Amino acid sequence: MLPDDTKRMRSDADKARLYDRQLRLWQKDGQAALEGARVVVLGSSTLASESLKNLVLPGIGEFVVVDDAVVGAQDVATNFFVQAADAGQPRAERIVENLCELNPDVAGRAVVRAPAAVVAAEDPDADAALLAGASLVIACAQPAAVVQAASRRCWAAGVPLLAATSAGLLAEVRAAVREHTVVESHAAARPDLRLTAPFPALREYVDSVDLGALDSPALAHVPFVVLLIKALDAWAAAAAAEKRALTYAQKKEVAAAVRAMAPGPDEENFAEAAAAATTGCADYEIPGDVARILADPAADQPATPFWLLVAALRRYVASDYAAGTLPHSGSIPDMKADTHSYVTLQRIYKQKAEQDRAELAAHLRAVMHDAGLPADHVSAAAIDVFCKNAARLRVLRTAPLHADRPALDALAADGALAHYALFRAAERFHAAHGRYPGAPPAGAAAETGTETEAETETEAETVAGLDALVERDARALADAARALMADEWGVESPEVPDALAAEFARSGFLELHNISAVAGGIVAQEAIKLITHQYVPHDNTCIIDTANSKLVATRA
Amino acid sequence: MHKIWKQKKTEAELQKTPRESPARLRLQKELGELVLTPDTEVTPSADNIMEFVMTYRPTEGYYKDGEFKFQFEIDKEYPHEVPKVRCMQTIFHPNIDTDGKICLNILREDWRPVLNIQAVIFGLQSLFQIPNADDPLNKDAARLMNNDPAEFARTVRLLMRGRTVGSIRYDDVLVKKV
Amino acid sequence: MACAVGFERFLKLKAPHVADFELVGEDGETPADLLAKAKVLVIGAGGLGCEILKNLAMSGFKNIDVIDMDTIDISNLNRQFLFRKKDVGQPKATVAAEFIRRRSPGINITAHYKRIQDMPEEFYLGLSLIICGLDSIEARRWINAYIHGLTEAHGFDGFKPIVDGGTEGLKGNMRVILPKHNACFECGLGMYPPKTTYPICTIANTPRLPEHCIEWASVLEWPRVFPSTKLDGDDVDHINWVVEQASQRAAKFSIAGVDFSLAQGVVKNIIPAIASTNAIVAAACVNEAFKIVTSCSPYLENSLLYTGDTGVYLLAYPLHQVEECLVCGQKEGAMSAPAESTLEELIDALKAHGTFQLKAPSLSVGGTSLYFQNPKALEEQTRPNLAKKLRDLFDDGATLTVTDPTLPTGLRVTVTFAAS
What's B55's domain CATH number?
Answer: 3.10.110.10
Residues A138 and A206 both lie in one domain: no
- Report the pLDDT value the prediction gives residue C27, as an integer from 0 to 100: 81
List all chains that touch chain C, counting a touch as 3 or more CB pairs closer than 8 Å: A, B
Q: Which of A279, A298, A313 is the last residue of a domain?
A: A279
Helix (H) or strand (E) holding A155: helix A144-157
Where do the structural domains in chain C lie, given as residue ranges? 6-193+273-317, 200-268, 331-418
Chain B interface test: which of C115, C129, C201 (most B C-beta within 10 Å): C201
Residues A269 and A357 both lie in one domain: no
Phi first, then psi: give them for residue C41, nearest 5 degrees.
-100, 125
Residues A335 and A271 both lie in one domain: no
A216: chain B residues, CB-CB within 8 Å: 133-134, 146
Residues A492 and A391 both lie in one domain: no
Question: Is position C50 annotated as part of the catalytic site?
Answer: no
Of A78, A186, A537, the CB nearest to C6: A78
- Report the pLDDT value the prediction gives residue A264, as an integer from 0 to 100: 82
pTM (2 decimals)? 0.94
A219: chain B residues, CB-CB within 8 Å: 134
Query: Which residues have a Cβ under 8 Å from the Cβ of C41 and sit 6 or more positions away?
Result: C64, C65, C66, C67, C124, C127, C129, C130, C131
CA distance A313 to chain B (A): 40
CA distance A144 to chain C (A): 23
- State the pLDDT confidence band at B8, using cuts at 50, 70 and 90: low
A136: β partners:
A39
User: Counting Cβ atoms within 10 Å, is residue C147 exposed (0-12), middle (13-18) or buried (19+)?
Assistant: buried
- Level-2 CATH architecture, domain C331-418: Roll (3.10)
Q: How far apart are CA B134 and CA B137, in angstroms?
A: 10
Residues A269 and A299 both lie in one domain: no
Instruction: Note which residues in 53-72 of chain C have CB less than 8 A from chain A.
Output: 54-55, 57-59
Instruction: Note which residues in 205-224 of chain A have CB less than 8 A from chain B.
Output: 215-217, 219-221
- State the pLDDT confidence band at B11, using cuts at 50, 70 and 90: low
Q: How far apart are CA B7 and CA B2, in angstroms?
A: 9
A405 assigned to some structural domain: no
Which of B53, B52, B47, B49 minimizes the C-alpha distance to B27? B49
Per-residue pLDDT at B39 exceeds 90? yes
- Report the pLDDT value the prediction gives residue A452, as an integer from 0 to 100: 42
A157 assigned to some structural domain: yes
pLDDT tens, position by position, for chain A (556 residues)? 344 444 444 578 889 999 999 999 999 999 999 999 999 999 999 999 999 999 999 999 999 999 999 999 999 999 999 999 999 999 999 999 999 999 999 999 999 999 999 998 665 566 668 999 999 999 999 999 999 999 999 999 999 999 999 999 999 999 999 999 999 999 998 899 999 999 999 999 999 999 999 998 899 999 999 999 999 999 999 988 888 888 889 999 999 999 999 988 888 999 999 999 988 666 788 999 999 999 999 999 999 999 999 999 999 999 999 999 999 999 999 999 999 999 999 999 999 999 999 999 999 999 999 999 998 899 999 999 999 999 999 999 999 999 888 999 999 999 999 999 999 999 999 999 999 999 988 655 444 444 443 443 344 457 888 899 999 999 999 999 999 999 999 999 999 999 999 999 999 999 999 999 999 999 999 999 999 999 999 999 999 999 999 999 999 9
Of C205, C295, C398, the CB nearest to B17: C398
Residues A171 and A230 both lie in one domain: no
A334: chain B residues, CB-CB within 8 Å: none
C176 to chain A: nearest residue by CA? Answer: A549
Q: Does A334 touch chain B (CB under 8 A)?
A: no
B13 assigned to some structural domain: no
In Å, how far are C226, C232, C253, C263 from C248, measured between CA atoms?
A: 18, 21, 9, 13
Q: Does B109 touch chain A (CB under 8 A)?
A: no
Instruction: Note which residues in 92-111 of chain B have CB less than 8 A from chain C.
Output: 95, 97, 101-103, 105, 108-109, 111
Q: Could you tell me the fold of the domain covering C200-268?
A: Arc Repressor Mutant, subunit A (1.10.10)
Q: Which of A250, A279, A308 is the last residue of a domain?
A: A279
B170 assigned to some structural domain: no
Q: How far apart are CA A1 and CA C395, in angstroms?
A: 81
Residues A219 and A303 both lie in one domain: no
Of B17, B136, B137, the CB nearest to C399: B17
Which of A148, A118, A147, A146 minimizes the C-alpha distance to A133? A118
Q: What is the arithmetic mean of pLDDT over C334-357?
A: 93
Q: Give helix A513-532 / helix C275-294 axis angle, nearest 10°.
A: 160
A214: chain B residues, CB-CB within 8 Å: none
B120 assigned to some structural domain: yes
Q: How far apart are CA A34 and CA A528, in angstroms?
A: 7
B43 to chain C: nearest residue by CA? Answer: C377
B32 and C412 within 8 Å at the Cβ level: the answer is no
| Tally of domains in chain B | 1
Per-residue pLDDT at C280 exceeds 50? yes
CA dihedral B33, B35, B36, B37 (to 10 degrees): 170
Type of residue at C111: A
Domain ranges, residue B146: 22-161
- State the pLDDT confidence band at B5, using cuts at 50, 70 and 90: low
Q: How far apart are CA C231 and CA A431, in angstroms?
A: 64
Q: How far apart are CA C340 and CA C342, in angstroms?
A: 7
- Report the pLDDT value the prediction gives residue C420, as an integer from 0 to 100: 61
Query: Is the CB of residue C174 less than 8 Å from the CB of residue C281?
Result: yes
Q: How far apart are CA B163 and CA C254, in angstroms?
A: 38
Per-residue pLDDT at C200 exceeds 80? yes
Q: Count chain A–chain B contacts defined by CB atoms under 8 A.
A: 15
A513 and C312 within 8 Å at the Cβ level: the answer is no
Q: Could you tell me the fold of the domain covering C6-193+273-317?
A: Rossmann fold (3.40.50)
Q: What is the arithmetic mean of pLDDT over C385-395?
A: 96
Q: Does B38 touch chain C (CB under 8 A)?
A: no
Instruction: State pLDDT tens for residues C242-271.
Output: 999 999 999 999 999 999 999 999 999 999
ipTM score of complex = 0.95
Of C4, C5, C287, the CB nearest to A514: C287
A16: chain C residues, CB-CB within 8 Å: 261
Radius of gyration of chain B (CA): 21
B137 and C204 within 8 Å at the Cβ level: the answer is yes
- Find the CATH number of the domain harbouring A531: 3.40.50.720
Residues A223 and A349 both lie in one domain: no
Helix (H) or strand (E) holding A527: helix A513-532
Residues A169 and A27 both lie in one domain: yes
Active-site positions of B?
103
Q: Does A372 touch chain B (CB under 8 A)?
A: no
C94-115: b (≥16 Cβ within 10 Å) or e: bbbbebbbebbeebebebbbee
C211 to chain A: nearest residue by CA? Answer: A334
Of A216, A267, A268, the CB nearest to B146: A216
| DSSP symbol at C307 | E
B79 assigned to some structural domain: yes
Type of residue at A90: P
Type of residue at C410: G
Distance of CA B90 to the CA centre of its chain: 15
Average pLDDT, chain B: 93
Domain ranges, residue A166: 19-178+514-554
B174 assigned to some structural domain: no
C381 and B15 within 8 Å at the Cβ level: the answer is no
A246-273: b (≥16 Cβ within 10 Å) or e: beeebbebbbebbbebbeeeebbbbbbb
Cis peptide before C207 (omega within 30 of 0): no
| Tally of domains in chain A | 4
C13 and A537 within 8 Å at the Cβ level: the answer is no
Q: How far apart are CA B168 and CA B161, in angstroms?
A: 14
Chain B interface test: which of C29, C294, C326, C386 (most B C-beta within 10 Å): C326
Residues A269 and A311 both lie in one domain: no
Half-sphere exposure in the Cβ direction for A10 (13 Å, CA)? 6
- State the pLDDT confidence band at C2, using cuts at 50, 70 and 90: very low
- Report the pLDDT value the prediction gives residue A447, as an integer from 0 to 100: 40
CB atoms within 10 A of CB B151: 11
A195 assigned to some structural domain: no
Which of A396, A395, A393, A399 minimizes the C-alpha distance to A541? A399
Instruction: State pLDDT tens for residues C37-75.
Output: 999 999 999 999 999 999 999 999 999 999 999 999 999
List all chains that touch chain B, counting a touch as 3 or more CB pairs closer than 8 Å: A, C
C283 and A514 within 8 Å at the Cβ level: the answer is yes
Average pLDDT, chain C: 94
C208: chain A residues, CB-CB within 8 Å: 334-335, 337, 339, 342-343
C397 to chain B: nearest residue by CA? Answer: B16
A502 to chain C: nearest residue by CA? Answer: C16
B13: chain C residues, CB-CB within 8 Å: 155, 332, 334, 414
Q: How far apart are CA B119 and CA B112, in angstroms?
A: 11
Residues A222 and A206 both lie in one domain: yes
Chain C interface test: which of B7, B14, B17, B72 (most C C-beta within 10 Å): B17
Residues A482 and A523 both lie in one domain: no
H-assigned helices in C222-314: 222-225, 236-252, 260-268, 275-294
The residue annotated as part of the active site, out of C132, C201, C213, C296, is: C201
